[in-house]
Chain A
Amino acid sequence: MIAALIVVCWLLVCGSAWAAAPPPIEVYYHAEFFSEPWRHAKGASDLFARTAWVLGADLLLLGLAVRRSRRR
Chain B
Amino acid sequence: MGESLAVARLTLLELSRRQLAWVTVFFAVVLAVIPQLIGAFGMTGFERVSKDACLTLLGWFAIGIALLLAATAVPGDVERRTVYPLLARPMSRDQYLVGKFLGLAAWIAGSVMLCGAAIALGCGAISHALEARLLVGAALEALKACVLAAVTLLFATRTGPVAAGIAALAVYIIAGLSDAYVGFFLEGEGVLSLAAWLVRAVKTVLPDFEVFHLKNALVHDEPLRFGYLAALAAYGLAWISGCLLAAGLVFGRHDL
Which residues of chain A have a CB within 8 Å of any CB of chain B?
A: 1-2, 5-6, 8-10, 12-13, 15-17, 19-23, 27-28, 30, 32-34, 36-38, 40-42, 44, 47-48, 50-51, 54-55, 57-58, 61-62, 64-65, 68-69
Which residues in chain B, 227-256, are within 8 Å of chain A measured between CB atoms? 227-235, 237-242, 244-246, 248-249, 252
The B interface, classified by DSSP as helix, strand, loop or mixed, is helix
The 3 tightest CB contacts between A and B, nearest first, are A20-B227, A16-B230, A12-B234
- Of all chain B residues, which has the CB nearest A19? B227
B interface, size bucket: 35 or more
Cβ distance A53 to chain B, nearest Cβ, rounded Å:
9
Known: A37-B178, A37-B179. Contact between A2 and B98, CB under 8 A? yes
Are A65's CB and B249's CB within 8 A? yes
Looking at A34, A36, A58, which has the most chain B CB atoms within 10 Å of its CB? A58
Q: In the assembly, what is the distance between CA of A9 and CA of B237, in Å?
A: 6
Cβ distance A46 to chain B, nearest Cβ, rounded Å:
8
The listed residue (A19, A20, A65) touching B245 by CB distance below 8 A is A65
Are B227's CB and A5's CB within 8 A? no
Cβ distance A16 to chain B, nearest Cβ, rounded Å:
3
The listed residue (A10, A50, A58, A64) touching B208 by CB distance below 8 A is A50
The A interface, classified by DSSP as helix, strand, loop or mixed, is helix
- Of all chain A residues, which has the CB nearest B240? A5
Which residues in chain B, 203-243, are within 8 Å of chain A measured between CB atoms? 207-208, 210-211, 213, 216-217, 220, 222-223, 225-235, 237-242
Cβ distance A17 to chain B, nearest Cβ, rounded Å:
7
Are A9's CB and B238's CB within 8 A? yes
Q: In the assembly, what is the distance between CA of A55 and CA of B198, in Å?
A: 23
Q: In the assembly, what is the distance between CA of A11 and CA of B24, in Å?
A: 34
Are A20's CB and B249's CB within 8 A? no
